[in-house]
Structure 1
Amino acid sequence: MKRFTLIVLIICYTFSLLAQQQSTVTIKDDETKEPLPGVTVLIKGTALTLISDSLGIVSFVSIPAGKRAIIFSYIGYETKEQIFSFPIEKPIEILLEPAESHLAEVQVTATRSSRSINDIPTRIETITAGELHEKAVMQPGNIRMLLTESTGIQTQQTSAVSGSASIRIQGLDGRYTLMLKDGFPLYGGFSGGLSILQIPPLDLKRVEVIKGSSSTLYGGGAIAGLVNLVTKEPMVKRELSFLTNVNQTGALDLNAYYGQKFNKIGITLFATRNSQAAYNNNHDDFSDIPRFTRYTLNPKFFYYPNTSTTVSLGLNTSFENRLGGDMQVIKGHANNTHSYFERNKTDRYATQFKLEKTFVDRSVLTLKNSIGYFSRTIELPDFVFAGKQHASFSEASFLLPKDKTEWVAGLSLVTDKFRQTSITQYPLDYKLVTGGIFVQSNWKPTEKFVLETGLRTDYTNQHDVFVLPRISAMYKFNTHFTSRVGGGLGYKAPNIFSEEAEEKSFRDIQPLVLSATRPERSTGFNVDINYKGRFEDVVSISINQLFFYTRLKSPLLLDTLPLANGNYTFYNADGYLNARGFETNIRLGYEEWSLYLGYTYTDAQRDFKHDVSVNPLTAKHRINCNVMYEAEDKWRIAYELFYTGRQQLTNGEGVRDYWVMGISGERKFKYFSVFLNFENLLDTRQSRWEPMYTGSIQHPDFREIYTPIDGFIFNGGFRITL
């Protein structure tokens, strides 16, 4: 009997061991279902750590019977915790979700598509909430720094006195970039000169950038591309935050944001006060940073009558008084010697109305409308230019998504009216009305291939007709390699609001003769290839290589020689502006460390009457570098380095290259964080190499700007989140 009992015990023990030895788990990618080797598997509450093999399999041996919590972690993937009952009788499959999957599910509003960003052939760059948070504490007053750090984008300061700036994408002037807010074009025409200096970033949840011709999407103006600023929406969980920032030049930024959803209604409220003292860092009697005070108030209301309908109504307001020039004048001590100044007063109002209705078949009807008012007065010692802009945007679109196809069709009406209120011999009044009809399609016959096409036809009150086709394709070779290719036509209706006219404060500008002025038309093409993977299973790596080309016919230029009456006139150049080049982006990630490297090569040339010259203020070579350490919810430390190559001024003069570097840090606590930022540590500024003006102090002639002029900036502050 004893022998029999012993044999039974041995057999039971043996079967128990066999059961334990057969406890296996296979770990795979949630999207591709491919096995993941090198996954760290930790049995919670113990020191036992296992690593999955080349097939993504991990085997559990000698695990006591009972329930155990197992933690799965892998570089580039969300950590997952799951409870198992040991012994595991059948092989189990664990799916890990990529850490960037939240980005893959982002619906890019700029394209009107319901597809996620990973299924859209149009090449779209997104600046996510985390990156926005990092840049916002570095420059809370505006989005200039935010945009500068993207390859292929250059923010060009156009005035040494007012500090006005524009966005250049891939070597093309700022007037060829369309600025949107939540899909509404609110910053065109007269209101565009100071726009990027008057948009605080703290209510944004995402920025979408489409480089290359995008006129098929929103009509004229998007020859170089478009930038869509996507604001936050209310959530059930309240978001309440405050940010205060100061720097050594006399800047003070006060920001507050509130957002919350209550059953069928929601609200967001964003309010800021930004001020800056006049700052002269080179002691030449003129301000390098103008004095200004700006107030911004953006309330937005949401109504959800049912689960399939959303109605929103928002108001964007901004009021600014900006004064630059002679420091004595700014301080209130003007005299016969110290008399030069430039004052800009602006008032901006814009409404945003949107209705979105989703039907049972997942089709969506969207109605949009915005009405904008912008008033600006530019005052010089002996000249005043003032005007008011009234603009509107209306659009109705219908989205019909299917399993393999998606269609969008719509109508739009855009108006832009400018009336000069100051008295001059030649008023610069302007009016443009554009009606458009568009259709877009997205076809995904296989998991590897997606084709996107679009066609838009615009008709203006100047009797111009524009037919704008666009096509893009994407092919996924495997889980690591993806390629996109696309191209289209673009246009811009003529107006006088350009960097050249802005630089002259619209003084001595001859009104456009529309019968003798042609619209600018463009052809654009780009192709890219993207790689995502891991090195030795511990370093995540992403490489994107983009090639681009844009050909702009008959660009509108301001003549450098005045007419007999002393005015400068706009004319269509006889020829083309060609911008070609490539962008290289590399991102590496290792535990809490990340490295970003970017290089842009831009060859922008004017070919007028077979006379080839370099497009002014366009650097051929630009390098971006960012190294960051981020311990989640604790520390963020970043180092940045930028290189801008040699450029050529409008008069043909070549100017030097330069480097800019900065360091920033943030310490996070549960409800607040403190931050410090050291920008332009090398104190790179144009005044270190040459005087910023010629002529007399009463009548200065300022140099064209090609580098930063404000020099080293140290700022710091705190953010409270409740």
Structure 2
Amino acid sequence: MLCITTTYAQNSFKFTVKAAYNKSVLQGATITLNNTKLKNVTNDEGLATFNNIPDGKQVFKVNHIGFEEKNITISFPVDQQNPMEILLEQSEDELEEVIISSTRTSRSIQNTPTRVETIELEEIDEKSNMRPANVSMILHESTGISVQQTSATSGNASIRIQGLDGRYTQLLKDGYASFGNFASGLSILEIPPLDLSQVEIIKGPASTLYGAGAIAGVVNFISRTPREKADYNFIINQSNVGQTNIGAFAMKRNKKIGYSLLALTNFQKPYDVDKDDFTELPKSKDFTIHPKLFIYPNEKTTLIIGNAFTKSDRTGGDIVLIKNGADNNHTYFENNASLRNTSTVDLSIKSAEKDLFRVKSSFNYFKRDIGIPNYSFKGDNYNVYTDISYLKNLKTQSLIFGANLVYDDFREANQTVLAKDFITKTAGLYFQQTWDATEKLKLESGIRTDLTNFHNSLYSKTDFFILPRVSILYKFNDHWSSRIGGGLGYKTPTLFTEQTETFQYQNLLPLNNIKSEKSYGGTADINYKTSIGDDWLVSLNQMFFYTKISNSTILLQDINNFFYFSNTSQPVNSLGFESNAKIIFREYFKLFAGYTFTNAKAKYLPVIQDIRLLPKNKLNLALLYEKERNFKIGLEGYFTDKQYLYNNFQTNPFWEFGLMAEKVFGKISVFINAENFTDTRQSRYKSVVNGPHNNPTFDDIWTHTEGRTFNAGVKLKL
């Protein structure tokens, strides 16, 4: 009995866990005693207390997401006057727990009621091997998302979510909306993946979060932030279609200051795979440089100043003209020259370790010059965005109060009576509450009021929108959970859509008496996760969606062959479901499967009301073998169902396959890819180009135009 009493003597001990680089307290750190079930989690002050600790030498294991594990050995009994301070170093690996920033609460994805899909660093890294120039490959192969090519010769593209046109999806970079309006046809072609840590996708009406343009959803590209350990990344890539990519990304921080720098240049030779004398890939060169400065005046304040500059020149069309110059038989070209500069400022001030005051502002300038024979269209787009928010964290609630201002001004360079100048001004107020009602039930509700004015020389209109939204997360148990959410959305008028992009805005009349489009809709899903023995992990997700758009703007043509926009009283409806499955075996083999059914109808269309260039059925399959930091190989397959063209004909369904491999040699990795190696392309079904060389017309683009692509490259990580 005496031995037993000695072994289980009553000892108490306190720990305070902090980050080593700035001494800020770490809430939620887990401390485990001697690898037993006896553990504790640090509170809001970084404090954890252990009681009933046995005498003798005891080992405490300290863990926190994003930090290196630390072991502390203490011999009991011990006389403690103050809590022991434990300093954790940041981990070299990326965070294992996914933190969501698009909902502004910075919660883990498991505890976020709003349904947010993430594309994490590992997958971004794989897709950037295939296409280092831009993010189009990352999005193209995601369930429920498609990248719609809008030009047969220049390769311009836009994003579609749940079958809705690209103008209904809002693109963000670190929460800044700088990619809409006149820039929309080139936006995803000018966002490099090299500096990204995560892509967050919210599907369905999300205007309550980010205002106009988020009817179909939001795609937020999240940049990497510097850590104490320097990180340097370099990539060189070459493909058989004549593309060369050279890029670098670097970041580092210390206690008071940090930086990140992205630099990327891309070169593309004109490429004509079907030998019809017209390019499938344009001759292009572009350059991006994006420096960011991070300033940490104290433990609670962060100031981020950045400037992103991109210059691009793309020329497609007759390949003889591009290589040798024009002659009597070779005169057609399409040129896109653009310049984009975005300056950003982000100030964050923490208070009481829980609350956050944040001011974000950006100024974006975009210039674009479009040229075809005997016609050019030039314009400048100015966009100013400012957002002020305050996050108040309570014991079971997070409250966000905010306001923002958006100014968007397009000015056509060649001023005529048909100039397409257009200005939109928006002032918004928003409030959001996230409430942990119970351990199982979490609610997120919000409301936004937007006052917007848009005008040109022909008309002016002011709208006031009240936009509520609600999301519910319910965790049935450790395996089953469900999210249901819905809200309202709106889209202010614009001339720059996928359809008008196809004819370079030629013979397009200015907007006149066009009203905003409005929407409502939502999503509902059920999620299941389990492990089978020690070897298998299974995750299944079934999601249903519905969106209805009223006041839809439609493109019409008058008797003088001028194009113009008009509102219709007939709605656009998109409904369907997405099914996703992920199976992992022993952490080495990973199988991903995704199926999308989309039934989108435009009620104003005669006879056939299906949305054009939209497959009802899509299937994504990917099998990956990976030995971390050593070797990976993957096989992908994608099925796309029939699509209706604008001439009411249907396309053929098709499969495409891809193969990738990467081998790591210390700090150097070598990768190879065979994208679409079965050579699925539109010209195998019918020539894309019609008519004479001097006056060609082009079919709608519904699949690959360039065919199979092989590329290989080298990455260096220091």
TM range (shorter): 0.7 to 0.9
Q: 1:587 aligns with which of 582, 586, 593?
A: 582
Equivalents in 2 of 1:388, 1:25: separation in Å? 62
Distance 1:649 1:671, change over 3 A: same
Counterpart of 2:693? Answer: 697
Supply the AA of the counterpart residue of 2:174. Answer: D
Match of 2:468 in 1: 469
Secondary structure in 2 matching 1:269: strand
Counterpart in the other structure of 1:332: 324
Q: Distance in 2 between matches of 1:288 and 1:28?
A: 63
Matched, 1:269 2:261: yes
- The equivalent of 1:5 in structure 2 is none
Classify the secondary structure of the residue corresponding to 2:399. strand
Question: Which residue matches 1:671?
Answer: 667
- The structure 1 residue matched to 2:159, chosen from 167, 173, 178, is 167
Deviations 1:262-318 (A, max 9, x none): 320111010011010000000001000001000100000010000100000000110
- Residue aligning to 2:657: 661
Using the TM superposition, name which of 252-261 and 566-575 deviates more. 566-575
Structure 2 counterparts to residues 529-568 of structure 1, below 5 A: 529-559=526-556, 562-568=557-563
Amino acid at match of 1:158: T
Runs of 5+ in structure 2 lacking a partner? 1-33, 42-55, 62-66, 75-92, 454-460
Alignment match, 2:366: 374
Post-superposition shift, 1:82?
8.5
| Offset at residue 138 of structure 1 (A) | 1.1
Find the aligned partners of 1:362 and 1:317 in 2 and give their Cα distance: 35
Q: Kindly indicate whether residue 449 of structure 2 is the aligned counterpart of residue 453 of structure 1.
A: no
Contact 2:215 2:489 in 1 (8 A): yes
SS at match of 2:227: coil
Cα–Cα, structure 1 residues 610 and 714, in superposed 2: closer, same or farther, change >3 Å? closer
Cα offsets for 1:675-722 (capped at 9, x unmatched): 000000110000001011222111111000000111000000100111
Partner of 1:204: 196
Of residues 649-658 and 369-378 in structure 1, the stretch that sits farther from structure 2 once superposed is 649-658
Q: CA separation of 1:433/1:717 partners in 2, compared to 1, >3 Å: closer, same or farther?
A: same
Q: Specify the alignment match of 2:573 in structure 1.
A: 578
Tell me by how many angstroms 1:412 deviates. Answer: 0.4
Write the mapping of 1:98-113 to structure 2, written as runs, cut at 5 A: 105-113=97-105
1-structure distance, mates of 2:602, 2:243: 40
Question: In structure 2, what residue type is equivalent to 1:110?
Answer: S
Partner SS state of residue 142, structure 1 = coil
Question: 3-state SS of the aligned residue for 2:188?
Answer: helix
1:12 equivalent in structure 2: none
- Aligned counterpart in structure 1 of residue 218 of structure 2, from 226, 241, 248: 226
Residue 113 of structure 2 corresponds to 121
1:108-164 alpha-carbon deviations (Å, 9 max, x no partner) = 111111322211110001111111111111110110010011110000001112110
TM-score (norm 2): 0.86
Output aligned runs, 1:111-150, within 5 Å: 111-150=103-142
Matched letter for residue 553 of structure 2: L
Match of 1:432 in 2: 424
Pair 1:289-2:281 in alignment: yes
**Aligned residue for 1:521?**
518
Change (3 A) 1:67 1:713: farther
Q: Which moved more, 1:484-493 or 1:651-660?
A: 651-660
Distance across 1 between alignment mates of 2:689 and 2:234: 40
Q: TM-score scaled to structure 1, two decimals?
A: 0.86
Asked if the contact 2:388–2:403 (Cα under 8 Å) also holds between the matched residues in 1, the reply is yes
Q: Distance in 2 between matches of 1:542 and 1:659?
A: 25
CA deviation after TM superposition for structure 1 residue 106, in Å? 3.4
Which letter does structure 1 place at the counterpart of 2:206? S
Judged with a 3 Å threshold, the aligned counterparts in structure 2 of structure 1 residues 610 and 700 are, in CA distance, closer, same or farther, namely closer
2:310 pairs with 1:315: no
Q: Which amino acid aligns with 1:649?
A: L
| Deviation, structure 1 residue 573 | 2.2
User: What is the letter of the counterpart of residue 640 of structure 1?
Assistant: E
Deviations 1:366-421 (A, max 9, x none): 00100000000001111000000010100100000111111001110001000000
The residue correspondences of 1:355-394 to structure 2 (distance < 5 A) are 355-360=347-352, 362-394=354-386
Q: Structure 1 CA distance, aligned partners of 2:38 and 2:126? A: 32
Judge conservation of contact 1:426–1:511 (CA < 8 Å) in 2.
yes
Q: 1:605-644 CA deviation, whole Å, 9 max, x = no partner?
A: 1112896610101100000000000011110101000000
Query: Judging changes above 3 Å, is the alpha-carbon distance between structure 1 residues 346 and 447 closer, same or farther for their aligned structure 2 residues?
Result: same
Please say if 1:254 is aligned against 2:246: yes
C-alpha distance 177-196 of structure 1, shift in aligned 2 (>3 A): same
Tell me how far apart the structure 2 counterparts of residues 362 and 510 of structure 1 sit (CA, whole Å). 52
Structure-2 change in CA distance of 1:677 and 1:220 (3 Å) = same
Corresponding position of 1:242: 234
Partner of 1:624: 620
Q: In angstroms, what is the RMSD of aligned CA positions?
A: 2.5
Q: Deviations over 1:142-188 (max 9, x none)?
A: 10010011110000001112110000000101000000000110101
Paired residues of 1:104 and 1:116 also in contact (CA < 8 A): no
Shift of 1:649: 0.8
Distance 1:224 1:645 in 2: 21
Q: Which residue does 2:503 correspond to in 1?
A: 504
Paired amino acid for 1:143: V
How many residues matched?
A: 642
- CA–CA distance in structure 1, aligned partners of residues 381 and 548 of structure 2: 31
Q: Which residue, out of 617, 640, 646, partners 2:642?
A: 646
Q: Is the 8 A contact 1:270 1:298 kept in 2?
A: yes
- Aligned mates of 1:83, 1:520 — CA distance in 2: 60
In 1, the alpha carbon distance for the partners of 2:105 and 2:319 equals 51
Asked if structure 2 preserves the Cα contact closer than 8 Å seen for 1:675 and 1:717, the reply is yes
Aligned partners of 2:318 and 2:330 also within 8 Å = yes
Instruction: String of CA shifts for 1:225-254, please: whole Å, max 9, x gaps.
Output: 000000011111001111000011111000
Runs of 4+ aligned structure 1 residues displaced above 2 Å come to 24-31, 66-69, 78-85, 101-107, 422-425, 608-612
For 2:417 and 2:576, how far apart are their aligned partners in 1?
44
Task: Tell me the distance in 2 between the aligned counterparts of 1:360 and 1:258.
Answer: 32
In structure 1, runs of 5+ residues without a counterpart are 1-23, 32-65, 72-77, 86-100
Rounded Cα–Cα distance in structure 2 between residues aligned with 1:554 and 1:686: 34
Secondary structure, aligned partner of 1:118: helix
TM-superposed CA distance for 1:536, in Å, is 3.5
Contact 1:219 1:458 in 2 (8 A): yes
Partner Cα separation in structure 2 for residue 496 and residue 651 of structure 1: 22
SS of 2:574 mapped into structure 1: strand
Is residue 114–residue 401 contact of structure 1 (8 Å, CA) maintained in 2?
A: no
Q: Identify the residue that residue 343 of structure 1 maps to in structure 2.
A: 335
Relative to structure 1, the CA distance from residue 499 to residue 139 in structure 2 (aligned partners, 3 Å threshold; closer, same or farther) is: same
Within 5 Å, which residues of 2 pair with 1:16-55?
none
CA distance in 1, matches of 2:201, 2:678: 30
Hey, what's the Cα distance between the residues in 2 that align with 1:415 and 1:482?
40
Cα 1:652/1:409, change in 2 over 3 Å: same
Q: Are the counterparts in 1 of residues 101 and 107 from structure 2 also a CA contact under 8 Å?
A: no
**Alignment partners' CA distance in 2, 1:610 and 1:548:** 25
* Cα distance in 2, alignment partners of residues 534 and 420 from structure 1: 58
Structure 1 residues 315, 609: CA separation in 2 closer, same or farther (over 3 Å shift)?
closer
Residue aligned with 1:376, SS? strand
Cα distance in 1 for residues equivalent to 2:106 and 2:355: 10
Q: CA deviation at 1:79?
A: 13
Tell me whether 711-720 or 254-263 shows the greater mean CA deviation: 254-263
Offset, 1:564:
3.4
* One-letter identity of the residue aligned with 1:298: H
1:411 is matched with which residue?
403
